[in-house]
A and B are shown apart, each in its own frame.
Chain A
Amino acid sequence: MTRVVVAMSGGVDSSVAAAILKQQGYDVVGMMLRLWSEPGKEDSNRCCTPDAMALARRVAARLDIPFYALDARDIFRSTVVNYFLEEYTRGATPNPCLVCNRIIRWKFLLEHALAMGADYMATGHYVRLRSNNGQISGRSDVVKKELLRAIDRSKDQSYVLHVLNQEQLGRALFPVGDFPKDEIRRLAGELGLPTASRPDSQDLCFLAGEDYREFIKRNAPGSLKPGDIVTRDGNILGRHQGLSFYTIGQRKGLGLASTQPLYVLAKQAASNTLVVGLEAMLGQDELTVENVNWISGEPPQGVFRAEVKIRYTAREAWAEVSHLEGGRVHVKFDEPQRDITTGQAAVFYVEDVVLGGGLIT
């Protein structure tokens, strides 16, 4: 019997993922990561509170599958949370979910799942997989896995999974990506899963529902060095409280007296200055991407056109993509894009297929 470990969170999506796999006849095992929380805030962590774990346990019992918790607190703190703090400290705006997926879910948890004799690992992510018999690489001897956007475009989570490689995708199952969210909720209700009416999780799990600035204040206070707020031509307009408190495109909370609305254009870590300007100045039509992961394992040949997504919530925009030295990539948009932000990922799509992505420099 084919064994699948389902990464459960107590939420609707992973619960239904487990239910679907069980119905399909897999030998399903539920596992839940115990992730790091700030001491004293364990009860408000967004994804692994004692409540969430009790719920996941109930779902597993309802589905008659074994369920185990796996301690990942130390490794989560030393990778995901450290990355989050370091990126803000250097003036970037990180997406820690990318690191969590790459290192915690799809490495740490996957290795434990495989050690338990699992053939596959499944999550409740809204994405799809397609086997492609060598068409991507031109090598017909290798079956490659393509990562596709979810059927439900409004729920698509392919952006955070662009970090996966062929080895990981070869072990992955994404049972809910073929369904609209409504259908998943309906299935949860039909199956009598106790999670059917739970709200979707939103924020970063370890922020415990707080603004990230509070978290940085407590955990990386050294990164909060006040500095000047300047225009592009170097006029000093005021003082900022520390670069990590601001993000590109931010308008509120600058504390500036100006006749026209001003926006954060750039965060210059070397000089510790926050550059502001008019909305029209936010648009840029190019960016550079580093640490690129190509899902097929090989970069596409030459210059190519793709839709590029520059934040989890951004709309994809058409661009011409060309290779630079050192595996970096240059992206030239057809139209200028607002809020291009260092540290966020740029992810490349051709139709529904995720080619890969990397971090905006």
Chain B
Amino acid sequence: MEKTIYLDYAATTPVDERVLQAMLPYFSHTFGNPSSIHQYGQKAENAIEAARETVAGVLKCRPDEIIFTSCGSESDNLALRGASLAMRAKKNANWILTSQAEHHAVSRTAGQMAELFGFEVEWLPVDEYGMVLPQTIAQAICHQTAIVSVMLANNEIGTINPISKISEICHEQGVLLHTDAVQAAAYLPVNVDALGVDLLSLGGHKFYGPKGVGALYVRKGTPLVPVQTGGGQEVGLRAGTQNVPYIVGFAEALRLTDLERKARAAQVKPMRDRIIGSVLENIPDAKLTGHPIERLPNHCSFVFKGVDGNFLLTLLDSAGFACSSGSACKTGNPEPSEVMRLMQLPLEWGLGSLRVTLGTASTAVDVEKFLARLPGLVEKARKLQ
């Protein structure tokens, strides 16, 4: 483990030491229940309200528009489920528009809304880079659309979607727009007005916060029914005693990310370009997946012809490099992911995906070590096919 070079920051990131320090007092010292009347409760409540203000400061929104959740997936669930049910009640809107390249937290939720709750889902096509083009929304949207959900940046292939253009179309039609910004928030600004979104999902562990905490931005006046019912926490939209230390950590991590965003991007982008350039130059039958320009600055993703991507990851891990693939699966069951299928790759390319994502501890030296080994390992994996 010690010798391994971590190149999977899109999967998760370590908790920033400053974030950890901010969290620690709230485990056993300031441990009160934020709903309690006494001073223990008041201190805890004060901590989460300060956190809410911090998050609102980054998103450029009102604090009462922030709902804390347990993770990015829960935020996606609450947005999609809560808004589509509310919009049906409000104006009999029965359609969900979402792209074919969404995270499962969105696509499977939409699928279940269709299967169990009678909604219709229109799966919007993406271009060869996995991008959702605004005109496809313009063609599909109508007054019966309950919600449009398009991710800000794709987790598998790093492509950034033109959300602010998409939002113009949605607002002309008076339709709600949700964006899953879980993967994007580490590097892209999440200014909700600039993006023009009504709902926006975040997950703490993608930007050096802890796992197990997320947030959903809900624009004031957006109809939403709670998915988790119970006590009246989070303005009645998310029942359950708030996870105070994690919420504090989430806010601190987001604050630091916003503060250091430009520097972090400037650190990883040259390394990203070095990896992409080197792989395409030195490895035969390799392709970049996702958009060459409109992509996250820390994100490289490839496919290699005739390679079992899972075994390539095994070889890489054995050689001391922790990477990921588009079809990441620990059970040796390599099916091309939905996103890989959308790339319309020939069969012998579809299983050979590799995702290399950089972060704050990445160095040019490590990148060179990786680039020195990768071609040989791809060749090894190819021979065994």
Q: Which residues of A contact B (CB under 8 A)?
A: 29, 31-34, 50, 53, 57, 66, 68-72, 111-112, 115-117
CB-defined contacts of A116 to chain B, threshold 8 Å: 314-315, 318
CB-defined contacts of B333 to chain A, threshold 8 Å: 34, 69, 71
Alpha-carbon gap, A57 to B383, bound state (A)? 27
CB-defined contacts of A53 to chain B, threshold 8 Å: 331
Alpha-carbon gap, A157 to B318, bound state (A)? 31
B250 to chain A, nearest CB (A): 29
B332 touches A29 (CB 8 A): no
A115 touches B315 (CB 8 A): yes
A118 closest partner in B (C-beta): B318
Q: Does B237 contact A (CB under 8 A)?
A: no
A91 to chain B, nearest CB (A): 35
User: Which of A31, A33, A70, A71 has the largest count of B CB atoms less than 10 A from its CB?
Assistant: A71
Q: Does B179 contact A (CB under 8 A)?
A: no
Q: Does B74 contact A (CB under 8 A)?
A: no
CB-defined contacts of B331 to chain A, threshold 8 Å: 34, 50, 53, 69
Alpha-carbon gap, A53 to B333, bound state (A)? 12
B384 touches A69 (CB 8 A): no
B380 in complex: contacting residue of A29, A57, A115, CB < 8 Å:
A115
B340 to chain A, nearest CB (A): 16
Could you list 13 A-B pairs, sorted by A, with CB under 8 Å? A32-B332, A33-B332, A57-B330, A66-B318, A68-B314, A68-B317, A69-B330, A70-B314, A111-B384, A115-B383, A116-B315, A116-B318, A117-B318
Q: Does B76 contact A (CB under 8 A)?
A: no
Lowest 10 CB-CB distances: which A-B pairs, in order?
Answer: A69-B332, A34-B332, A68-B314, A71-B332, A116-B318, A115-B380, A70-B332, A69-B331, A71-B334, A111-B384
Q: Does B77 contact A (CB under 8 A)?
A: no
Mask of B106-146 contacts with A, CB within 8 angstroms, 1/0: 00000000000000000000000000000000000000000
Q: Does B308 contact A (CB under 8 A)?
A: yes
User: Which of A31, A50, A57, A68 has the largest count of B CB atoms less than 10 A from its CB?
Assistant: A68
A6 to chain B, nearest CB (A): 14
CB-defined contacts of B311 to chain A, threshold 8 Å: 70-71, 112
User: Which of B314, B317, B333, B384 has the largest count of A CB atoms less than 10 A from its CB?
Assistant: B314
B383 closest partner in A (C-beta): A115
Q: How many residues of B contact A (CB 8 A)?
A: 17
CB-defined contacts of B268 to chain A, threshold 8 Å: none
Q: Does B23 contact A (CB under 8 A)?
A: no
Q: Which residues of B contact A (CB under 8 A)?
A: 308, 310-311, 314-315, 317-319, 330-334, 380-381, 383-384
Alpha-carbon gap, A5 to B59, bound state (A)? 50
Contact A112:B384 (CB < 8 A) given known A34-B331, A70-B332: yes
CB-defined contacts of B384 to chain A, threshold 8 Å: 111-112, 115
CB-defined contacts of B310 to chain A, threshold 8 Å: 68-71
CB-defined contacts of A115 to chain B, threshold 8 Å: 315, 380-381, 383-384
A-B contact sample (6 more), CB < 8 A, given A68-B310, A69-B333, A115-B383: A50-B331, A71-B308, A71-B332, A116-B314, A116-B315, A116-B318
Alpha-carbon gap, A272 to B220, bound state (A)? 80
CB-defined contacts of A68 to chain B, threshold 8 Å: 310, 314, 317, 332
B319 closest partner in A (C-beta): A117
Alpha-carbon gap, A116 to B373, bound state (A)? 13
B383 to chain A, nearest CB (A): 8
User: Which of B318, B381, B383, B384 has the largest count of A CB atoms less than 10 A from its CB?
Assistant: B318
User: Which of A31, A53, A66, A115 has the largest count of B CB atoms less than 10 A from its CB?
Assistant: A115
Alpha-carbon gap, A71 to B319, bound state (A)? 20
B1 to chain A, nearest CB (A): 9
CB-defined contacts of A34 to chain B, threshold 8 Å: 331-333
CB-defined contacts of B317 to chain A, threshold 8 Å: 66, 68
Alpha-carbon gap, A90 to B174, bound state (A)? 70
B381 closest partner in A (C-beta): A115
Alpha-carbon gap, A248 to B170, bound state (A)? 74
A183 to chain B, nearest CB (A): 31
A66 closest partner in B (C-beta): B317
B329 closest partner in A (C-beta): A69
Alpha-carbon gap, A112 to B331, bound state (A)? 16
B318 touches A29 (CB 8 A): yes
Alpha-carbon gap, A53 to B318, bound state (A)? 20
Alpha-carbon gap, A112 to B381, bound state (A)? 8
CB-defined contacts of B308 to chain A, threshold 8 Å: 71
B318 closest partner in A (C-beta): A116
B4 to chain A, nearest CB (A): 10
CB-defined contacts of B314 to chain A, threshold 8 Å: 31, 68, 70, 112, 116
CB-defined contacts of A70 to chain B, threshold 8 Å: 310-311, 314, 332
Alpha-carbon gap, A116 to B318, bound state (A)? 6
B308 closest partner in A (C-beta): A71
Alpha-carbon gap, A29 to B314, bound state (A)? 11
CB-defined contacts of B315 to chain A, threshold 8 Å: 115-116
CB-defined contacts of B380 to chain A, threshold 8 Å: 115
CB-defined contacts of A31 to chain B, threshold 8 Å: 314
CB-defined contacts of B381 to chain A, threshold 8 Å: 115
B313 closest partner in A (C-beta): A68
A306 to chain B, nearest CB (A): 37
A75 to chain B, nearest CB (A): 10
B4 closest partner in A (C-beta): A66
Alpha-carbon gap, A72 to B334, bound state (A)? 10
Alpha-carbon gap, A117 to B308, bound state (A)? 17
Alpha-carbon gap, A305 to B356, bound state (A)? 61
A76 to chain B, nearest CB (A): 12
Alpha-carbon gap, A116 to B315, bound state (A)? 6
